[in-house]
Amino acid sequence: MHPLKWHPMLAAALACAIAGPLPSAQPAQPVSPDWSAVAGTYPALGTLASKEELAILHWLQDTRTRADVARVGVESHPDLDQFLAAIGSPSDASAYPGTVALLKQAKDDMKEVVRTLKTTFGRPRPYTTDPTLTPALPPDGSFSFPSKHATEGILFASILIRLDPPDQTALLEEGRLIGDDRPMAGLHWPSDVTAGQRLGRAYAAYWLALPENAGLFQAACGEWSQAQAGGNPN
């Protein structure tokens, strides 16, 4: 068995070492991807694919439960605590201030990319296209494509997996759920979510490669390495 499978402390330490720049090297500035190309496209209204998406939304609306609605309400503001709960951590986000700062900066930097794409594509929300759809949460008035929550969920999961490789399955499931629940709540088309999840993965890889974010990442790495060793992250 590969040692990373059974030694979480080693996995966290190695992840930090790989992610950090070499002390004597000048890190290269990554090229910003074409975010529109990453997001892709969505079905035009009236097409078969669009009608299939609408049928899915109606089915989700008819079958969602109070527990589903409560869950998506919590997911409306993705944060570290949700991911810590997903991996069964006894600590809360207050024990990881460096990680909180890391995720906040990544989210803040990502916002403008998503905002620009939403304006560029200008896709209406599903409930404005079909008034028989009733969103489970108050609408925010922005365009629909891509889903910001889906982007954030995978962005956070992708970063946290670099910090905590042994829990990658649970972290990724939580990141996906944050986006996957948006159509259930009637707030997004399914293709908004898949686009956001593609964007989240690509943006995480790009953002983590930026030299100016290395310090934030290394600070968070220290917290996770200490936590994996059984100590207090602080």
Domain boundaries, the chain: 44-228
pLDDT digits (tens, 9 = 90+) for 59-96: 999 999 999 999 999 999 999 999 999 999 999 999 99
- Coil, helix or strand for 139? coil
pTM: predicted TM-score of the whole model, two decimal places: 0.88
Could you give the count of Cα atoms lying within 13 Å of 106 in the half-sphere of its Cβ? 37
End-to-end Cα, the chain, rounded Å: 32
Indicate if the pLDDT at residue 208 is higher than 90.
yes
Task: For residues 215 and 17, give the distance between their C-alpha atoms in angstroms, rounded to a whole number.
Answer: 13
User: What 8-state DSSP symbol labels residue 230?
Assistant: T
Confidence of residue 226 (pLDDT cuts 50, 70, 90): confident
**Looking at residues 93-105, what average pLDDT do you find?**
96
CB atoms within 10 A of CB 21: 15
pLDDT of the residue at 26: 55
**Which value, in Å, is the radius of gyration of the alpha carbons in the chain?**
19
pLDDT of the residue at 108: 97
Both tokens of residue 183? 């159509």
Task: For residues 150 and 182, give the distance between their C-alpha atoms in angstroms, rounded to a whole number.
Answer: 8
Phi/psi of residue 149, nearest 5 degrees = -65, -40
pLDDT digits (tens, 9 = 90+) for 126-165: 999 999 999 999 988 899 999 999 999 999 999 999 999 9
Fold of 44-228: Vanadium-containing Chloroperoxidase; domain 1 (1.20.144)
- Provide the residue type at 217 as one letter: F
Indicate if the pLDDT at residue 10 is higher than 50.
no
CB atoms within 10 A of CB 201: 18
